Structure formats: structure tokens, C-alpha cells
Amino acid sequence: MTTRLQSDNQSPYEAISDILWLWAALFDGPPPEAVWSTIRESVIPAIYQSLQQPATLAEALQVASETLATEYEDLFCIPVPGSPFSLYDDEDMADEPPSLRHLAAILDIPWQKDAFVPGRAYPISPDHLSVLFALWATLIGLENVPEILGKSRADWMDVLAGKIERILRRITQSLPEHSAYGQITRLALDYVRQADAWIKEANRH
């Protein structure tokens, strides 16, 4: 099984990184219609195929970006402490140093927004799902960097994959299956599990 949507000029790691950046974007906020139509009609079916799942687009995903935006705002936009839809890893809020916050600084990835942006996720705590996806996507592309802040690249990716899977698993248990973000979250969870397995297998060789 492969998790890669690989073009002729991409390495396997680059292909996986591209999809992780897609999840980072979708969990930060809904895309504009032109971008969403491409994701909906081309990218998501290809991800299903890469996971050897039926590529038929679920009815819940056949919506305009305006509908997607309304759903996102209702579920994710304003953080609610203890919400099952939270984009934060409430089970593991405190990181042992060096923390993911330091990793984000090293990789030049914004850890928190400076102000609330209407329609976008607002990270009020240090483990925002979109940021975790961005960190993982960036690390995958650093094939020639074995260690960062005294921790191996592989160990960082293992930490990120675990936190991301935990957040997605909690959200999927709460979101209606027949909602657009319910479908997106379930697909992201399947992809994360397979990407993590593929990366670990590749690192062993």
C-alpha cells in the first residue's frame, strides 16, 4: 500500500509532504472555491486511490466552499475548552524541552497567529492541528538533516504523528459522518496512519 501521490519529478517524501501541507491548510480554514473545487474533484479522489479505498466522492464533500466555511466556523473557528471538536491535543499540553514551540521557531513556522482572523482557526494553546501538520510536512522534506535540537528527525516525526493521530481520532468520534469535515477528518486520519507506517518502514531500510 502506498500513501504517495507521486509525480515523475518528486521523491516519495516530497509527495507525502505535499499532502500533509494540504491537511494543514484544510484544518486552518476552508479554502476559496477555486482551490476547493480542485481538491474536491482531483486531489481527494486520488488520496482515496492511494489508500486503496473507493474513490467515489462522498455526497458530504460535494459542497461549495461557502457551505464548507459555514461548517468549519460552527465546528472549529472559536475554540471551546474541552470541546470534542477542539483542534488541540488536550491530553498532552505540556512538552518536555526542547518543545515543539522551539522546533517551530527553528523551522520558521508560525506557532500562533498575532490576532484573530475571521473564518480561520485561532490557536489559543500550543498544539494547533494545522501547525502540527506543517511541522511534520517540513520535517519530511529535510531528508539530509538527521537531528534537530538534540532529537533525531525520526523521533520528532514520531511525536508529531502521534499527536496528530490523537487529535484526529477524537474529532472523528464526535463529528457526524455525513458532514464534509467529518469525511475530511476520517480521510486525514487514514492517511496519517498509513503515512506514518510508510515513513517508519522506509527509515528502517
- Across the range 172-185, mean pLDDT stands at 89
**pLDDT for residue 1 is more than 50:** no
Q: Residue 120: is its pLDDT beyond 80?
A: no
∠ CA 92-189-84, nearest 5°, is 50
Residue 114's Cβ-count burial label (10 Å; 0-12, 13-18, 19+) is exposed
Domain coordinates in residue numbering, the chain: 12-203
Give residue-wise pLDDT tens across range 54-98: 877 788 888 999 999 988 888 887 767 677 888 887 665 555 566
Phi, psi at residue 151, to the nearest 5°? -125, 140
Contacts of 67 (CB under 8 A, 6+ apart): 180
Task: Give residue 201's pLDDT.
Answer: 86
C-alpha 127: how far from chain center: 12
In this predicted model, which residue has the larger pLDDT, 138 or 58? 138
